[in-house]
Structure formats: structure tokens, C-alpha cells
Amino acid sequence: MRFLTRSLVGLFLMAVTVGVLAYAGFMVRSAVELRRNAESRPRPTQERVFSANVTTATRETLKPVLTAYGEVQSRRSLQLRAPSAGQIVELAENFEEGAHVTAGQLLVQLSTTEAERARDVQRAALADAEGALEAATRALAIAIDDLAVAEEQAQLREQALERQRTISENGFGTATANETAELASISARQAVLSKRSQLSQAQTQVDQARNTVERQTIALAETERKLADTRLVAEFDGLLAGVSAVEGGLVSNNEMLGSLIDPDALEVSFRVSTSQYVRFLDADGALTPANVEVVLEVAGTPVTALARLSRVSAEVGEGQTGRLVFAQIEAGAKGFRQGDFVTLLIEEPALEGVFELPAASVDAKGSVLALGEGDRLEEVATEVLRRQGDSVIVRADALDGREVVTTRSPLLGAGLKVRPLRPGATTADPAAALASPMASAGAEGASAAGSRSADTGGEMVVLTPERRAVLIAFIESNAGMPAEAKARTISQLQEEEVPRVVIERLEQRMGG
């Protein structure tokens, strides 16, 4: 009897187990069929709308700024070299690196012993030459007087000869007397010739003595110059650099002792391309004195000065391109030194009727995406004039007053509809305002539920627990939705009141 009872109980339990398993299989099958039927329901198609930041293109007159880099140098510098060989006996107290000196200040004094000795010897030689010139001058005066006396004697002898001839013609003279008078006249003329020769010699001696005096004077001036060359003085006010002289040291002729730089006569040399250089030429081909701002970064603090374009190098230079241009820094600039590497901001001639747009709004072809009718994008071709920093200057008549996409993306193109995000406009959700086509590069459900489900504006709705659970389950099962968007949307659905727009978008994706 006990065996029969146990058998019946076992059969009953087995029947109950089989029934429970059958019911579970039925429930699973029903759920699978329900899910298949739900997935096979046709979902309403919806055009994809991207959010895009736009800005209004306004025609204006702009002055582009060209950025260049150059080196500061002094327009007035002097190499300090030893004018002669010798020993340094005196140095200026401030003859040191970076010291300020004034014009005419003695910097270096060399030994003057040899130079003074040579000067004194030359002075004595000049005195001798001057004495010789005086003696020759006196001899010349005597020779002139001798010649005058000889000419008078010759004239008297000639007159005596004429008288004797007259007497002879009258029959009172003798032949001997005539001959004696003629001989005396000839002797007198011979004496005149001799005195003329002596006068010529005296004049030659005077000329030689005068030339000797001039040579000795030149030689004395040379010795005095060499004596003056023992002093090295500053030619102008400036700063010393590269100082290498020491007191008591021996220097050779033309040895480099340092350099003198004028800190108030600075300029910047920089190189630009030929096309950039042409922008600064006037109608006659001359360089315009454009305004330049020179910027020197010192420990993060910029030191600025104003300058103007002054000249351009006469040649390109071997292995170089473009043009080497010089900008003269205005007087009074502080903080700049020769050799500084600086940045130059050069103001170009004004461009009229142009547009300034973000650099990311223009593609490689020079076209932009403009907002057309119905918030659809249109591609507009432009002429890119300048690129500077994060901006680009373009010319396009079709852009005047139109809104342009500030950031191009591979997902944006002509014909697409966008939701424009304008500067200064308030959006209900910062995440939606910042959403870009790249954020919606996942599945279609991720784009709709991720970039749009965060809207908090509009009508608020109170969800039933069942409806809330269905929406949360849909989001959790969406594999294409980013984790951030899932967490943000679920947190919104868990609130007591949920924006209606969020619910409608989710239910559209669900097919409800």
C-alpha cells in the first residue's frame, strides 16, 4: 500500500514538472514571437538633421596682418681695433661688456714712447730742412744782386765800345783801342751769363730745400698721427660688446678689442616670400613705409615696439629665396638688443569688400557651406586672399549677408538639412548645442537618442512606471548608442517629469 502511494505521488510531481516546463517554453516562444513581430513593424523614415554652428558673413574692409620673424641689429656699429701695435698702459674704467660710453671718451691708451721719439726726431729733421731753405733763399737773393751788377757792367762796357767806335769813325781812334773795348764788352757779357747760371743754381737749391721742408712736414704729420693712434676713443654714444682688452697686455696692429653699438639706432632684418613682398610695393615699385609691430617674448611677457619698413636688400643671396627686408625701429624703444629674435606683425594694405571667416569653414578648394532655403546647405566658391591664424579672408559676392557653417565636416555637404546654432543663441541643452555630425557617426538610433534626447525644454510629461520601464529597456538594449548618451537619457527618464520631445523621439525609434 505504501509503495502504491509513493508511486502516485511521484507520477503527480513528474506531471507537474512537465506542465511547468511546457508553460515556460510557451512563454519563451511567445516572447520571441512578440519581439520578432515588434522588430518587423515598419518604422517611419525620418530625414537626418545635423546641428551646425553658423555665422553671418559681413562684407567689410580689412587690413591683413603678415606675421614674420627676424633678428634685431644696429644700423650704427663700430669695431674697436688697435690702431697700432704696442702695450696697453691705460683702460677706461667702464671699458667692459655692456658699459655705456660717450662720444670722445678715451677707451684705450697704448704706450707712446716710440711714437714720441719718432715725432721728436722728425721735428729736428724739419727744423734742419727749414734752415736749409732759409740759407738757399738768402743765396738766391745774393745771386739776383750779382746778376744785376754784372748786367750793369756789361751795359757800361757796351756804351764804352760804342764811344770808341764813334771816335774811330771820326779818325781819332786806333785799332788797338777798338779791340780793347770790344774785349771788355765781351768779358762783361760773359760775366752776365756766369751770374745767370749761379742764379739758376740758387733757385734750384731753394726749390730742393722747399721740397725737403714739405717732405719733413708730411713725415712729422705721420709721426703725430701715429702718436694719436695710441689713443682709442669712442666715435659716438653707445654700448660696448665683445670686450677683450686688458691693461698691460700687448696688442698687434688692427687687433680686435671689442665693438661699439648704438642702442638707439636699431632695425630688424627679416625674409618674406616674393609674393608677400610685392604686396608692400607702391605704383612706382618702391617699398611703402608700412607700420610694423615688433614683439619680443621675455619670460612670457611680450615687449613691443613700433617700426616702419625702410629698405630691401639689393640681392637675393646665394641659396636664398624671397626678399630680405629691413624695418627701422622707432627711437625710444626699450628692452631690445642686437641679436634678439623677434616676431613682426606687418600691416598690409587694406582689402575692400572682403569677408573674414573661421579657417575651419573653408575647404581645400576654397569653398564654404552657406545656409540656403529651408536650412539646407549650399556650396559657395570663394577666392581665398589671406590665411592668418584661425581666420581666413575671402572674396565672394554670393556670401554677402548669408550664414556660413563655421566648421566643415566630412558628414556635411551641399543639400543636407541642418539645425543652425547661431552665436549668442540659448539652447536648452548644451550637449545638443555642441553636438556635431561626428558625435552621430554611430547607428541611427544612437544619433537620435544621443544627440537629441538630452533636450530639457518644452512640455514636461509624467510617465507611468510601465511606460518608463519600456523606454529604459529600449535604451539599454540599443547597442549602437554611446554609453554617455545612454546614461544621460536614462537619468532624464528616471526623473518625475520627462520632456515630451524626448519621449516622442524614443517612441518613434521604437516604432510606437
Evaluate if residue 452 carries a pLDDT over 70. no
Burial of 81 (0-12, 13-18, 19+ CB in 10 A): middle
pLDDT at residue 170, rounded to an integer: 76
Q: Do 510 and 436 belong together in one domain?
A: yes
pLDDT at residue 343, rounded to an integer: 94
Can you tell me the mean pLDDT for 348-363? 90
Work out how many domains the chain is built from and give that number.
Answer: 5
Higher pLDDT, 407 or 479: 407
Q: Do 347 and 490 belong together in one domain?
A: no
Q: Do 104 and 248 belong together in one domain?
A: yes
344 in any annotated domain: yes
Higher pLDDT, 42 or 453: 42
Identify the band that residue 43 occupies on the pLDDT scale cut at 50, 70 and 90: low
CA distance 399 to 383: 11
Higher pLDDT, 181 or 21: 21
Which of 178, 204, 228 is where one domain is finished?
Answer: 228
pLDDT at residue 498, rounded to an integer: 83
pLDDT at residue 354, rounded to an integer: 92
pLDDT at residue 126, rounded to an integer: 92
Among the listed ranges 104-113, 326-335, 434-443, 474-483, which one has the minimum average pLDDT value? Answer: 434-443
Q: Do 102 and 181 belong together in one domain?
A: no
Q: Do 272 and 346 belong together in one domain?
A: yes
Identify the band that residue 441 occupies on the pLDDT scale cut at 50, 70 and 90: very low
Which of 364, 391, 415 is where one domain is finished?
Answer: 415
Can you tell me the mean pLDDT for 32-59? 74
31 in any annotated domain: no
Phi, psi of 163 (to 5 degrees): -65, -40
Among the listed ranges 11-25, 279-293, 372-386, 428-442, which one has the minimum average pLDDT value? Answer: 428-442
Evaluate if residue 393 carries a pLDDT over 80. yes
Which of 415, 445, 469 is where one domain is finished?
Answer: 415
Q: Do 292 and 223 belong together in one domain?
A: no
288 in any annotated domain: yes
Give the pLDDT confidence of 60-89 residue by residue, as tens digits. Answer: 999 999 999 999 999 899 999 998 888 999
Q: Do 471 and 329 belong together in one domain?
A: no
9 in any annotated domain: no
| Residue 194 near residue 150, CB atoms below 8 Å | yes
DSSP track, 112-146: -HHHHHHHHHHHHHHHHHHHHHHHHHHHHHHHHHH
3 in any annotated domain: no
Q: Do 189 and 129 belong together in one domain?
A: yes
The residue range of the domain holding 237 is 79-111+230-260
Q: Do 305 and 273 belong together in one domain?
A: yes
Can you tell me the mean pLDDT for 250-255? 90
466 in any annotated domain: yes
CA distance 59 to 357: 11
Give the pLDDT confidence of 127-178 residue by residue, as tens digits. Answer: 999 999 999 899 888 888 888 888 888 888 788 878 777 877 777 767 777 7
Identify the band that residue 446 occupies on the pLDDT scale cut at 50, 70 and 90: very low
pLDDT at residue 37, rounded to an integer: 66
Count of Cβ atoms closer than 10 Å to residue 328 Cβ:
17
Q: Do 241 and 224 belong together in one domain?
A: no
**Portion of the chain with pLDDT greater than 70, in percent:** 90
CA distance 152 to 163: 17
Among the listed ranges 32-36, 90-94, 250-254, 312-316, which one has the minimum average pLDDT value? Answer: 32-36
Here the CATH number for the domain that contains residue 159 is 1.10.287.620
Q: What's the pTM? A: 0.58
Can you tell me the mean pLDDT for 284-310? 89
pLDDT at residue 457, rounded to an integer: 43
Here the CATH number for the domain that contains residue 106 is 2.40.50.100
Identify the band that residue 45 occupies on the pLDDT scale cut at 50, 70 and 90: low
Dihedral through CA 199, CA 200, CA 205, CA 210, nearest 10?
100
Q: Do 236 and 293 belong together in one domain?
A: no
327 in any annotated domain: yes
Identify the band that residue 6 occupies on the pLDDT scale cut at 50, 70 and 90: confident
364 in any annotated domain: yes
pLDDT at residue 499, rounded to an integer: 83
Q: Do 317 and 330 belong together in one domain?
A: yes
Burial of 210 (0-12, 13-18, 19+ CB in 10 A): middle
